[in-house]
Structure 1
């Protein structure tokens, strides 16, 4: 990623936090524009004080009888190229797409329409018919979610970056919108296949695997018998990809560590099963993935010693039927915590090193304290020498569920 784009990412993150803090004090559409929308346009590099660049209450007329206007128009050589319709923060935006569409369709030079309440931004193009605004937004940006997670994904960042002053190209918008809409439709299709693979897809997969080719004719009975394994395999693949991005090597996902022992039949490990069971590996659930990401990222933040910082990257995990064990070093001797969910869905953590059980999984200084104490204790027991006991930092934004898929 270029330094320029990385710097823009930091500006978006800073603006998201600022906008979320301001939003509760904004009570009208006018204050939404002044406190939220205009600062966002400034982040994009536009001079909101220059009417030759940002024109408020801009009109586009079909005729003397029908007049259309938007809250802001971004101008290029005197012609509007971006139309922005804003509503009071928190207001429903669905019914106001028609107002934006009427202006968009009345202005041949407009190639991008933006509907916003100051926190949520929907971007529309004319990818289906020239000069006719699409029914579906090709990009949605929610500053509340960005502020909550403290991150913005690369695709969204690149989409917003393309709207910046000096970078926006009206002629590219339609093609880019088509690409993003196609991308999203493929993602949704794959998601549907992962959740409930249709018969044709199962046949497609089986027909292209060595084991599947040995099954002979792929009858409905064969398809039904292998439905679960195809679904589980897809879930495992998605989990591995997500875990690889968190720094867990593929071997951590599918193979037991050398010192593997079955955990004692107590607490969350009583339903333990090997990942190398016949029929494929067992992928972590969405909640378990969120706990893994949160705990590892928090420890990277909490430890202040360089040696300990390097040791955090050695954290591994073991998936069981009804729980997940996160550990450092040995599976049992180095256990940091066990994650499980109650029947009502409440996630709980057990910390064997500290003899602490059933701690609700929720971002807090108390959870930070337990993570840090458990990790430093296991590191000390493993013979790691570091410069004194780390000092607990106060929690800084985020939420354990912010990155769950």
Structure 2
């Protein structure tokens, strides 16, 4: 079983069990130890995974960290666990104190859901304050799984991980900064763009206006990029669906799907993708209307578009699946019915 499949299985287990887990000890056994197993280490082998790992630190004797993972008799990872309900904080963590006296280059702080991996990029033998790798095991992206796999027993390489850790850490921090700036732009960030497009003096009032403009500008830019990729995918899918219909329906030659209908379909998908995967939103063109269905099921109409006559309409459906036509001037008016379209999805909740 590949590591991504194992991680998905663990994520499903966490979602199913977490509300029944009350203690830190239960968190360790239900969530953390299975994760260590996924990395290829035998949690039942005391030469590989040592629970309650003890090391004397100066005058402090007998302090214990939850686990130490060994390879070839040397600790390669120390692990401190919290209850899954707790927020993680490295302040006053035993990891700091153990890190500089152990031979390991890596430390892990986790509550079984959030995982934070640390090393000593900033000062040798002193654990960094911020992790170089952090993730939610129930919401993993492919690039993160690649980094997790580097800790697997079969491919563990200290030099390789440390060399890559710096890039990971700073990219992670940069992404957080970008998110902060887009959510609540700083004065420095606003000035950077305002100075390029505004010739007047940047008074307090002007800055306040540009703060909102910069935030909206970036949101629209990101939205356009997402829509461009979505439209490219939809165009490909629309082309495939059209080709399939030509091959399987004898009367297809009498139905012409216009570019306007396809663009209207993309608008409906852009609205409904907030509640549905795009592959569940399917169109069927007929001579009398352009229908958009859930799961390509005629009994689950999401809306109908009437665009080929002199006047344009969107057909919406109520609880009884009765169509109600609403006049539109252009296909952009479909956005005015966002609420009704999203409510229609609720009629078919599964």
TM range (shorter): 0.5 to 0.7
Alignment correspondent of 1:234: 218
Distance 1:95 1:231, change over 3 A: closer
1:42 aligns with 2:41: no
Asked if structure 1 preserves the Cα contact closer than 8 Å seen for 2:275 and 2:342, the reply is no
Aligned residues: 293
Asked if structure 1 preserves the Cα contact closer than 8 Å seen for 2:10 and 2:31, the reply is no
Alignment correspondent of 1:219: 201
Q: How many angstroms apart in 2 are the aligned matches of 1:204 and 1:352?
A: 53
Q: Deviations over 1:213-271 (max 9, x none)?
A: xx6x45326766655443322111111233445x234999xxxx7479xxxxxxxxxxx
Alignment correspondent of 1:299: 280
SS of structure 1 residue aligned to 2:231: coil
Instruction: Give unmatched runs, 5+ long, in structure 1.
Output: 261-274, 276-287, 306-310, 316-325, 338-350, 372-394, 396-405
Distance 1:357 1:328, change over 3 A: closer
Q: Deviations over 1:77-108 (max 9, x none)?
A: 1110100112333245437751122112221x
Distance 1:132 1:335, change over 3 A: farther
1:115 aligns with 2:115: no
Distance 1:251 1:230, change over 3 A: farther
Alignment correspondent of 1:167: 155
Q: RMSD between aligned alpha carbons?
A: 4.6
Question: Aligned-pair distance for 1:9?
Answer: 2.3
SS of structure 1 residue aligned to 2:68: strand
Distance 1:81 1:193, change over 3 A: same
Q: How many angstroms apart in 1 are the aligned matches of 2:175 and 2:195?
A: 23
Q: Deviations over 1:321-375 (max 9, x none)?
A: xxxxx977668645679xxxxxxxxxxxxx994799977969xxx946448xxxx
SS of structure 2 residue aligned to 1:115: strand
Q: How many angstroms apart in 1 are the aligned matches of 2:83 and 2:148?
A: 21
2:166 aligned to which of 156, 174, 178: 178
Distance 1:297 1:152, change over 3 A: farther
Instruction: Give unmatched runs, 5+ long, in structure 2.
Output: 236-258, 285-291, 297-301, 326-336
1:158 aligns with 2:146: yes
1:105 aligns with 2:100: yes
Question: Aligned-pair distance for 1:18?
Answer: 0.9
Question: Aligned-pair distance for 1:75?
Answer: 1.0
TM (normalized to structure 2)?
0.65
Asked if structure 2 preserves the Cα contact closer than 8 Å seen for 1:240 and 1:250, the reply is no
Asked if structure 2 preserves the Cα contact closer than 8 Å seen for 1:336 and 1:353, the reply is yes
Question: Aligned-pair distance for 1:158?
Answer: 2.7
Asked if structure 2 preserves the Cα contact closer than 8 Å seen for 1:46 and 1:54, the reply is yes
Question: Aligned-pair distance for 1:36?
Answer: 2.0
- Answer with 1 or 2: which has the greater Rg: 2
Listed as ranges, the matches of 1:298-377 within 5 Å are 299=280, 333=313, 353=323, 367=345, 369-370=347-348
